[in-house]
Amino acid sequence: MQTTFILLVLLLVALLGLLALLTTGFFDKKPRPIVTTLVPGFAEKGGGGNKGGSGDRQERCLCVFDNDRTLTAKQVVAPGECPGAEIYAPAVHDPAYGGGPYRPAAALSLLRQGPCGQCLGAVISAGNPSSPEEKKHVLANLPAGSLEGALRWGAVDGRKETLVPEIQKIYETTYAVHIPDEKVFFFDDRRENVQPFAATSFNARQVSCEARDLEGAIGYCGASLGEITLDTGVRLC
């Protein structure tokens, strides 16, 4: 009799415990998701960023720049006329638009500190610097990991958007990353080079808007860092 009573008490305790678990939703709980914070930069083969929808390749953004009057300023200007755009070296000649000493735009040396610092970099320029020093200086200031093979000199104005897929392929092959069209950002001082991007999935922005040269046709001081943004769409001055 006493043994039966003890068994009944234990059974009652077990039932009460089970009821408590049911009412607290214990059996409905799901495992907590693992949240991974990806730090912008390069993986083993130069990747970085978030994984995209193209297999296991990681997504990267791409910033593409014109050179003349985008990454450069007018060669000869009055003192203080183009703040932050100083002559690189008097002996380095820039042949664009009449020529003169190579004067990088204020934005060039700061590209890695701005929004494009998390992206890969490229150049699509109609001009072709005669000085190897200018080309080396441009490449050295593009976002980390940028390749010399992604610099396209002698491009045709108004057709620059057609060269972007070649650059995407270079990076995707070299670094095993994926660069979606919507993560491509192009910067140029000339309206006719920016407008055609409206017919693509790429983003484009006209720069050097504050001061213009040749009756507004081209930039004067080159891009400012404030103009180098990852805004979507096609934007003109």
- Taking only the tens place, the pLDDT of each residue in 134-167 is 999 999 999 999 999 999 999 999 999 999 999 9
pLDDT value for 19:
55
List, for residues 120-141, the tens digit of each pLDDT value.
999 999 999 989 999 999 999 9
Residue-wise burial string across 95-110, b where 16 or more C-beta atoms lie within 10 A, e elsewhere: bbeeebebbbbbbbbb
| pTM (two decimals) | 0.78
Widest pairwise Cα distance in the chain:
112
pLDDT value for 57:
86
pLDDT value for 130:
87
Domains within the chain, CATH numbers bracketed: 58-235 (3.40.50)
* Alpha-carbon gap, residue 231 to 202, rounded angstroms: 11
List, for residues 75-125, the tens digit of each pLDDT value.
999 999 999 999 998 899 999 999 999 999 999 999 999 999 999 999 999
DSSP code string of 73-91:
--SS--TTSSTT---SEEE
pLDDT value for 33:
33
**Pairing outcome for strands 184-188 and 62-65:** parallel
